[in-house]
Amino acid sequence: MALKESAAQQQPAVKAELKQIKQQFKTLFSKEKITNIGVCMYPFEETDPKFQKVAAVIAKNQQEKLPLGGYYNLDIPQFVKEGLYYYYVDIATQDPYAFNTDSLRYLSYAGLPDGNYRLHFEAESPYAENGLELQLQNGEIVKLESTKYTE
């Protein structure tokens, strides 16, 4: 995990939000094991206006000499809502392919923060993995699609 994500996840508000997200995913996937959860910035090109927005905030924070190179004070929940960052959830399971756009469509996401989620379902033996991207707004699915998992 890069310094910027590590710094962002040390914020009390982000820690509390990740704890809430983990609890809700433990409830949604009670037979599986949540192995990792966090927040990460999407990989934007440096010329992308979305990247420039985050870079401007970091530069301002650095000028003000804020902690951890200006990354600690980012408004991560707002950046997630704006699609600049996403939450990731790694889930260990016997059959990662049992979780797909059809099976996840009918779960209740009430209470989860708005934003994008990358879900990674993984089995150890035999090794297999499946990735899904989920976008939520007011507890409802806005987008749900299969994706290659990358953290």
Mean pLDDT by 10 residues, the chain (151 residues): 65 89 94 91 79 87 85 84 90 92 92 94 87 94 82 48
pLDDT at 1: 45
Q: List the structure tokens of 74.
A: 């980012």
- Alpha-carbon torsion angle 41, 58, 115, 94, nearest 10: 30
CA–CA separation, 42 and 20 (whole Å): 22
Identify the pLDDT of residue 33.
94
Secondary structure letter of residue 110 according to DSSP: T
pLDDT value of position 5: 62
Tokens of 99: 């979780």
CA angle 68, 13, 34 (to 5 degrees): 100
Question: pTM for this one?
Answer: 0.85
